Structure 1
Amino acid sequence: MSTGAGQSTAISTGFGTALVALVTDAGGNPVSGVTVSFAAPGSGASAALSAASDVTDGSGLASVTATANATAGAYNVTASATGLSDVTFGLTNLDVVAPTVTLTTNATEVAPGEAFDVTATFSEPVTGFTMNDVVVNHGSVVGLAGSGAVYTITVRSSGSGNIGVSIAADVAQDVSGNGNEPSGGISVRNTTVEETSQIISQFMNTRATQLINNQPDLTGFLSGNGSSQGQGQFNLAVTRGQGNFDISTKPGSRVWTRLQGAVSHEGTSDSSYVFGAIGSHFAINKNLLLGAMLQFDYLDQDDGIANIKGKGWLIGPYFVTKFPNHDVFVEGRLLYGQSSNDVSPFGTYTDKVETERLLALLKVSGSMLYGKTTLIPKVQFTYTSDDQEAYRDSLGNLIPSQGVAWGQLEVGLDFETPLETRRGNGELLLFGGFSAIGSYKEDSGGVAATPSVVEGGRARAELGMSYQFSEQGVFLVETFYDGIGRSGYESYGLQVGLDLKF
């Protein structure tokens, strides 16, 4: 006879009732002094006993206590004594501990649409775990692999904020049917704001440098030299890696226009830029012109899947003056404008972005004749700024305001000298020049400054020849090298041009 059988308790805890064996004689009377041995299974679900044996007392009772081990399951503890039949105690160890789960990932930041893996490690094998059991903020689960205790979750970012990943409670069960406890959450930084700001900053830098380099030269309205002299003209120029076109009316006209364009390939980005200007002035006296101009431009820039298109305008006054009795000329302008831009940073959506712009230019040049050679010293400083307004993108991210400002100082000496020709009525001219250029850039607002290899000091050399074959046209060839003394930046090529007067 025995008591204590049929009990159950949680693993690693003690059973509530001792295991008691009763020894009696043939007449049913208790027998004392009998040694009773108790034995539990040596592996699997089992129990730790308080003693391996006990001696019956005056009531014929021998007992031990039992504590369940860490393995769940049912088993028997056996009580035996010499010459007597064995007695078994059926016991059950219950698994009531919920499995825990830990999430880990190697990802620290992701862009919109980018996928990354998260590893879910449970404390014990589980079943019933599916993709729908993963909670994701600002993203979605696109894949799940694994079994038992380890699973790999693939998450794709939506780009609308930092991505949070967690697993809810009771979505997976262990072998005993216990539901899991909730996991801790992990967070992966969303780079939408940073990447968008950098793409816009790069775009504004490109447009600012293009705007500076395409400013029309107005000194020729007084000096009679340079690109503003002579009759109206059509000019087409092709250079290595860049194409340009230039249309201008007769400079002596009260109203003048200019249209220029450029196509460039820099690194992984391709840009197309168009610049136009229209202006009008009147003469205060023979040494002073006052006028106003309207400039407009368009830039289309691709960099991988990113694309920005922007069109803008600037308007303001200008002047050109000459020092009396000296061949020294000064020109200046101050322009204000705005731009409207379509920004598609990841190729999936497009936002409208507005900017405000400012440009100021001051140039001093001269003209000195040495025999047949004309020397043209020049100093020019140009400043331009472009400020982007803050906006909320299509994903709900707040893109902060930012601005770029460029200043460029150019000091140079150009020359032109006629060459003799043996026949014909044409005129052959050799020209060239050398300029020292210093530029600087300032960033404001935004989340990160965008570096530019153009910033700093450099020099530029030019050499070319032109041939005026009649009163109607000029053919020219020019080569240049830009980036002298500037590590990491150079530009060189050949330009062929044709001017047609009308």
Structure 2
Amino acid sequence: MNVIQVPKAMYLAAFPQMAVSLARCVLPTVLIAVVALFGMGDMSSRADTAETRRLMHQLQKTRLDNLIRHQPELAALLSGVGSGALNADVTDDRGVLHFSSGVDAPLWARASGRWDDNGKRKVKYGFGAMGLHTYVTPTLVVGGMIEADYLSQAGAQSDRAGGGVMAGSYFLARHANQPLFVEGRLLRGRASHSIRGSGDGALWPDTRRGLAQLKLTGQLRYGVTTLTPSFLASYATDDVLPRGSDPLGVQGIQQRQMQLGLEFRHTLREANGAPIILTGGGAFSRTSTRRFGHDALALPGQRSGSGRVSLGIRFSTQAGGSIAIDSFWGGLGTYAPENYGLKAGYDIRF
């Protein structure tokens, strides 16, 4: 067996070249693996943080929507129309509950709740308010109120819940000669939340909330004509309170809502004395939601609005029947297709 011997000098001369070649082949692979390992971890962290912020934004918006929608009506405190009531509709997987105290006492309370479980998603919501006022004049009351609300949304991918308390002042005024009411409130408070996404971690952020609202309801009566104006303007905020290294950081949401409407009812008379009643009106609403803080561009603001007009006529026949014709035109001022319709009905009793 022949053995080829390589001179030691030649071996030492070739070793640096072999080392350089090995480094050129192995080091890039190692660097790519290290960068991919740490880079994927950082990307996963950023993805988890973005998902948490998205879930928090959705929870904040849902709670503000419900907070504005469930604000107690105050006009009954001066109109005297209304009484205490308790209504409940409960089944195996859902339920609705409403409670209201009487309107003839300075201390009043309102409460409502609902829950729904369709097997894939569980939603629970509760709202309660209590107030105490004093009569400055027979047509003006001022007072203070406290509100509490709770929302829980549990699904396969995430669990979200939040509860909070708000307190502030309110006023209610009535027109001296007409059943027309103006009410306003200014509330401030805090809330606590729990957010658990698809990962194992959970966050418990706290927020600072505020609500300002002005509302007009009632009627203006001028002989055979009755006007029913309505106006609602709301401004609500919900800001996350940062705590140390909280990944949510500075994050908040602002929501503005405006509703404006006017309906009329005008009574005419035929020659035989049968009345003809003209009805109609219009309404316009607009809502804008703005998010600020981290990743604000990832969840841009939302705007929506709609308008609707209607016109109808009702009159009675000599045979004892009544005819009603109503028409409407909706979807005005929105990107959605407009819609319109006409409805006619005849009623006779014998």
Q: TM-score, normalised by structure 2?
A: 0.69
User: In structure 1, what is the Cα distance between the partners aligned to 2:129 and 2:309?
Assistant: 27
Distance of 2:158 and 2:7 partners within structure 1: 66
Q: How far apart are 1:326 and its partner, in Å?
A: 3.7
1:483 to partner: Cα distance? 7.2
The answer as to 2:130 corresponding to 1:258 is: no
Distance 2:225 2:139 in 1: 24
Task: Assess if the C-alpha contact under 8 Å between 1:307 and 1:347 holds in 2.
Answer: no
Asked if residue 201 in structure 1 is aligned to residue 57 in structure 2, the reply is yes
Distance (Å, rounded) in 1 between the aligned partners of 2:285 and 2:51: 31
Q: 1:412 aligns with which of 257, 261, 264?
A: 261
Instruction: Confirm or deny that 1:435 pairs with 2:287.
Output: no
* Cα distance between partner residues in 2 of 1:487 and 1:204: 26
Residue 307 of structure 1 deviates from its aligned partner by: 1.5
Opposite residue 290 of structure 2, the aligned amino acid is E
8 Å CA contact 2:291–2:300 kept in 1: the answer is: no
Contact 2:145–2:168 (CA under 8 A) maintained in structure 1: yes
Matches within 5 A, 1:296-335: 296-302=148-154, 304-335=156-187
When Rg is computed on C-alpha atoms for both structures, the one with the higher figure is 1
What do residues 203-242 of structure 1 show as CA deviations (whole Å, max 9, x unaligned)? 1011111111111110121234xxxx3211123479xxx9
Match of 2:138 among 264, 269, 286: 286
Change (3 A) 1:245 1:459: farther
Change (3 A) 1:408 1:448: same
Given that 1:193 and 1:397 are in contact with CA atoms closer than 8 Å, whether structure 2 keeps it comes out as no
- Mapped to 1, the partners of 2:265 and 2:201 lie a distance apart of 52
Aligned residue number for residue 7 of structure 1 = 6
Distance change in 2, residues 1:354/1:286 (3 Å) = same
Give the deviation of 1:401 after TM superposition. 1.8
Q: What's the counterpart of residue 203 of structure 2?
A: 351
Task: Report the CA distance between 1:289 and its aligned residue.
Answer: 0.7
Instruction: Give the equivalent residue in structure 1 for 2:75.
Output: 219
Matched, 1:384 2:240: no
Deviations 1:17-46, CA, capped at 9 Å, x for gaps = xxxxxxxxxxxxxxxxxxxxxxxxxxxxxx
Distance in 1 between residues matched to 2:281 and 2:114, nearest whole Å: 22
The residue type paired with residue 141 of structure 2 is L
Q: Distance in 1 between matches of 2:65 and 2:32?
A: 47
Q: Which residue of 2 aligns with 1:100?
A: 26
Q: Which residue of 2 aligns with 1:446?
A: 294
- Residue in 2 aligned with 1:274? 126
Residue 357 of structure 1 contacts residue 384 of structure 1 at CA under 8 Å; is this kept in 2? yes
Give the whole-Å Cα distance in 1 for the aligned partners of 2:162 and 2:294.
19
- Residue 400 of structure 1 corresponds to 249
Shift of 1:357: 0.6
Q: How far has the Cα of 1:358 moved from its partner?
A: 0.5
One-letter amino acid of the counterpart of residue 194, structure 1: A
2:6 maps to a residue whose letter is Q
Instruction: Tell me the secondary structure at the aligned position of residue 362 of structure 1.
Output: strand
Partners of 2:221 and 2:213 in 1: CA distance: 27
Does residue 89 of structure 2 align to residue 233 of structure 1?
no
- Measure, in 2, the Cα distance between the counterparts of 1:372 and 1:302: 54
Secondary structure, counterpart of 1:318 in structure 2: strand
Q: 1:448, CA displacement in angstroms?
A: 2.7
The amino acid across from 2:62 in the alignment is T
What amino acid is aligned across from residue 328 of structure 1 in structure 2? L
Q: Distance in 2 between matches of 1:416 and 1:271?
A: 41
In structure 2, relative to structure 1, the CA distance for the partners of 1:297 and 1:135 (3 Å cut) is same
Find the residue that maps to 1:100 and give its secondary structure. helix
* Offset of residue 103 of structure 1: 5.2
Shift of 1:359: 0.6
Q: How many pairs align?
A: 295
- State the 1:262 CA deviation: 4.3
Structure 1 residue 247 corresponds to structure 2 residue 99: yes
Gaps of 5+ in 1: 17-66, 73-93, 105-117, 121-132, 139-154, 164-187, 418-430, 463-481, 490-502
RMSD (Å) for aligned C-alpha atoms = 4.2
Aligned partners of 1:6, 1:352: CA distance in 2, in Å? 73
Following superposition, the deviation at residue 101 of structure 1 comes to 5.0
Q: Distance in 2 between matches of 1:372 and 1:346?
A: 62
Aligned residue identity for 1:445: G
Q: TM-score, normalization: structure 1?
A: 0.50
- Kept in 1: contact 2:112–2:128 (CA 8 A): yes
Cα–Cα, structure 1 residues 102 and 315, in superposed 2: closer, same or farther, change >3 Å?
A: same
Q: Which has the higher helix share?
A: 2
Partner AA of 2:5 in structure 1: G
2: CA distance, partners of 1:374 / 1:258: 30
CA distance in 2, matches of 1:371, 1:439: 36
Instruction: Note the C-alpha offset of 1:440.
Output: 1.3
Match of 2:325 in 1: none
Determine helix, strand or coil for the equivalent of 2:205: strand
1-structure distance, mates of 2:29, 2:95 = 54
Structure 1 distance, partners of 2:280, 2:99, is: 22
Residue aligned with 2:295, SS? coil
Change (3 A) 1:102 1:262: farther
Report the secondary structure of 2:296's partner residue. coil
1:20 is matched with none
Shift of 1:305: 1.9
Gapped regions of structure 2 (runs ≥ 5): 267-278, 311-329, 338-350
